[in-house]
Amino acid sequence: AIYAMSDLDHDGRLSEPEFLCAMALAARRRKGAPLPEQLPLDLQEACWSMPSTHVEAATNQPDESLPLWQPNHEELSRFQQLFDQLQDHGFVSADRAREVLESSGLPLNDLAKIWDLADAGDDGKLSLGEFLCAMSLSARRREGRQLPQSLPDELLPCTRLRVQDKVEMQRYLAMFQEQVPRGSAMPAAKAAEILQMSELPPSDLAQIWNLSGGTDNLDSLQFLHAMALTARRREGQSLPA
């Protein structure tokens, strides 16, 4: 019922705004709200007013300015908000993740593969980073890309993401957006300047840079990962090996 209600153009697939509407309806239903007879107008306006990750939703074209599987910072923000609606004690259960992924309209064999790729901990639930992986894989597959055999390099930082809450993540994304034009990456010099403000030892900063996958610049996900690692290190936690 949710899928049919969200598929406003009745083409058998969900555009990005339609997909966001389906996710919102599913989240409301889990909280006990009855399903409406038709898609609420306020929900339509909210989903269609969000910045689109495509040039035009109907064309279903990927953003060629990013690495193949890399979510942009608008997608990261939306996926994080969805995670916040679904999570329980910092994880999304298999049942809730299945409901979200099935709303994409992808075949079940694709969804099973996405789950296997994203569930890096192989524990039957998704952390924030793993959920970001699953949503990015799902989004790219809906654009027509073939799923990879293993988790793409550009998504590996997701599986190690150590952001504690949505406020922290939104703060880092806002910082990135303030420093970098849309669709661009942050130059290494600027990223280094921000990281050095932490006053961590150079050896720690070098390790953080390597763990985040930094080269000549940082994309939004790499920056998010680097900032989270920096924050956890300043709290006294050890950096991952």
pLDDT tens digit sequence for 159-179: 766 666 667 878 888 888 888
Q: What is the pLDDT of residue 59?
A: 35
Is residue 229 within a helix (H) or strand (E), and if so which, with residue range?
helix 220-234
- Residues 189 and 53: their CA atoms lie apart, in Å, by 28
Provide CB contacts within 8 A for 79, sequence distance 6+. 71, 131, 132, 135, 136
Q: What is the pLDDT of residue 78?
A: 81
Global pTM exceeds 0.85: no
Q: What is the pLDDT of residue 14?
A: 66
pLDDT in tens, 49-58: 544 433 333 3
User: Using CA atoms in the order 140, 17, 110, 131, what is the torsion angle rounded to 10 degrees?
Assistant: 80
Q: What is the pLDDT of residue 16?
A: 64
Displacement of CA 88 from its chain's centroid (Å): 17
User: Using CA atoms in the order 109, 112, 118, 121, what is the torsion angle rounded to 10 degrees?
Assistant: -150
Distances (CA, A) of 69 to 35, 62, 130, 142, 177: 34, 10, 14, 12, 20
Which tokens is 2 given?
């949710």
Residue 207 exposed, middle or buried by CB count within 10 Å (0-12, 13-18, 19+): middle
- Partners of 187 in the beta sheet? 217
Q: What is the pLDDT of residue 174?
A: 86
pLDDT < 70 stretches in the chain: 1, 3, 11-16, 19-20, 23, 27, 30, 44-67, 73, 160-166
